[in-house]
């Protein structure tokens, strides 16, 4: 108890220096936690992917369509449990800054494949009855202040013109890893409108979503599907939903790597700050450590005092940084919801914060402890006064 009391008194003996050091550690851990959360948010779609779902798209690029006639052929392939389809719409709501994912899909089969998307039964029934009906995520509805029955107009980019939709349903996620900012409507409405206007893409879809009977046969089923349409006018590329999501992240891989590097650079910088604080502290107390030695205290005891002080200062800042990460992440989530639909502080991020704080505290105390242990008693006593 006396040792712990001494460690805490030493840690806060120079209050201004300790406060500034704790503040620096707090800011560093907060920044580190937020950057790691950004990386987690970047991979949120990958983590939420199901091993039982495959995505089939045009082998050339996602921007090229596939014939609707492929659906029945895919359904007959061994290992396939269900097939649905969708098309990226890319509409703009009022202004380009109001970006959110919006696409057309076959409502019954598509939503059955996503049990994590929860729609009230009355909302679902109203959505299926109305050909111009649409369903939006809870966060998206809150963002724009929509309510059931509102007419929402999207300006088409891929499919030019103004498209009116009636909000018939609001969905929520089964847990906080589900994107609640998407907007989707019936593919039939898109197809019929394009057909009446005599435009291209009639009877074509952007991708097929496939549920397989066993995740272990994903590779085999993918090969069978692609082999079925080999040498056709629209060859296919089938991959797991996770691989499909990773293909988008690969386009911005350099940014992800840069964020990861910056997060670790922050830790190295704060490590230097804490090490400097501990070096100054040890230099000021060399005389005290010499007195300890004359009283018979060994190097282990002196090292414990120095490392303990480093731990108290660093872990205080670390805990404050972790506590501030949650409200900061909430603010970021509300501000950047268009770019990061899922922005949650992961448990792994907290563990990394704790590990980073412990590492900084340990390394920062090494040199001061070594110096205090190895200084001669006579040299240390000369510092007194």
Report the mean per-residue pLDDT for the chain.
85
Instruction: Spell 138-162 as b/e; 16+ CB within 10 A means b.
Output: ebbbebeebeeeeebebeeeebeee
Mean of the pLDDT values across residues 108-122?
Answer: 91
Is the Cβ–Cβ distance between 11 and 309 less than 8 Å? Answer: yes
In the three-class reduction of DSSP (H, G, I as helix; E, B as strand; rest coil), residue 277 is classed as helix
Measured between alpha carbons, how far is residue 121 from residues 109, 127, 141, 181 in Å? 15, 10, 18, 20
- The residue among 297, 290, 271, 251 whose CA lies nearest residue 371 is 290
Is the Cβ–Cβ distance between 221 and 232 less than 8 Å? Answer: no
Mean of the pLDDT values across residues 333-360?
Answer: 81
Confidence of residue 36 (pLDDT cuts 50, 70, 90): confident
Confidence of residue 141 (pLDDT cuts 50, 70, 90): very high
- Please report the pLDDT score of residue 14 as a whole number: 79
Mean of the pLDDT values across residues 329-346?
Answer: 75
Side-chain half-sphere CA neighbours of 200 within 13 A:
5
* Residue 377, pLDDT above cutoff 70: no
Is the Cβ–Cβ distance between 235 and 66 less than 8 Å? Answer: no
The H or E element that residue 196 is part of is helix 187-196
Q: State pLDDT tens for residues 70-92.
A: 999 999 999 999 999 999 998 99
For residues 331 and 199, the model is more confident at 331
**Other C-beta atoms lying within 10 Å of the C-beta of residue 376:** 10
Q: State pLDDT tens for residues 41-66.
A: 777 666 777 888 999 999 998 889 99
Highest mean pLDDT out of 153-167, 304-318, 340-354, 355-369? 153-167
pTM for the complete prediction?
0.74
Q: Give me the percent of the chain exceeding a pLDDT of 70.
A: 90
Q: State pLDDT tens for residues 166-212.
A: 999 999 988 888 888 999 999 999 999 998 877 777 889 999 999 99
Torsions phi, psi for 80 (to 5 deg): -85, 130
Question: Looking at the DSSP assignment, which residues form a beta bridge with residue 156?
Answer: 161
Torsions phi, psi for 58 (to 5 deg): -65, 135
DSSP string covering 35-63: HHHHHHHHTHHHHT--TTEEEEEESS-TT
Q: State pLDDT tens for residues 262-273.
A: 888 888 888 888
Distance of alpha carbon 169 from alpha carbon 130, whole angstroms: 11
Distance of alpha carbon 280 from alpha carbon 20, whole angstroms: 14
In the three-class reduction of DSSP (H, G, I as helix; E, B as strand; rest coil), residue 134 is classed as strand
- Please report the pLDDT score of residue 269 as a whole number: 86
């Amino acid at each position: 108890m006396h040792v712990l009391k001494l460690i805490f008194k030493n840690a806060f003996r120079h209050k201004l220096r300790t406060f500034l050091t704790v503040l620096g550690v707090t800011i560093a851990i907060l920044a580190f936690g937020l950057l790691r959360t950004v990386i987690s948010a970047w991979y949120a779609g990958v983590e939420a992917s199901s091993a039982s779902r495959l995505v089939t798209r045009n082998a050339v690029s996602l921007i090229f369509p596939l014939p609707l006639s492929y659906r029945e052929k895919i359904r007959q392939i061994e290992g396939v449990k269900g097939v649905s389809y969708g098309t990226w719409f890319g509409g703009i709501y009022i202004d380009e800054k109001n970006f959110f994912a919006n696409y057309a899909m076959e409502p019954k089969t598509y939503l059955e494949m996503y049990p994590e998307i929860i729609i009230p039964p009355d909302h679902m029934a109203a959505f299926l009855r109305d050909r111009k009906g649409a369903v939006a995520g809870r966060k998206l509805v809150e963002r724009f202040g929509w309510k059931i029955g509102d007419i929402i107009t999207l300006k088409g980019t891929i499919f030019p013109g103004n498209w009116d939709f009636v909000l018939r349903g609001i969905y929520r996620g089964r847990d906080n890893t589900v994107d609640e900012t998407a907007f989707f409507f019936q593919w039939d409405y898109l197809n019929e409108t394009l057909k009446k206007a005599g435009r291209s893409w009639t009877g074509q879809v952007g991708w097929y979503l496939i549920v397989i009977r066993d995740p272990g046969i994903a590779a085999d089923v993918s090969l069978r599907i692609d082999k079925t349409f080999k040498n056709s006018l629209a060859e296919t590329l089938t991959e797991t939903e996770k691989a499909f999501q990773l293909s988008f992240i690969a386009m911005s891989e350099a940014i992800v790597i840069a964020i990861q590097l910056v997060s670790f650079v922050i830790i190295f910088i704060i490590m230097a700050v804490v090490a400097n604080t501990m070096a100054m502290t040890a230099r000021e107390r060399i005389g005290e450590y010499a007195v300890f030695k004359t009283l018979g205290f060994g190097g282990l005891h002196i090292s414990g005092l120095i490392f303990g002080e480093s731990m108290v200062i660093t872990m205080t800042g670390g805990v404050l940084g972790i506590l501030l990460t949650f409200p900061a992440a909430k603010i970021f989530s509300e501000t950047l919801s268009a770019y990061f639909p899922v922005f949650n502080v992961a448990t792994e991020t907290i563990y990394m914060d704790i590990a980073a704080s412990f590492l900084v505290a340990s390394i920062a105390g090494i040199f001061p402890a070594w110096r205090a242990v190895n200084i001669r008693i006579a040299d240390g006593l000369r510092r007194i006064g």
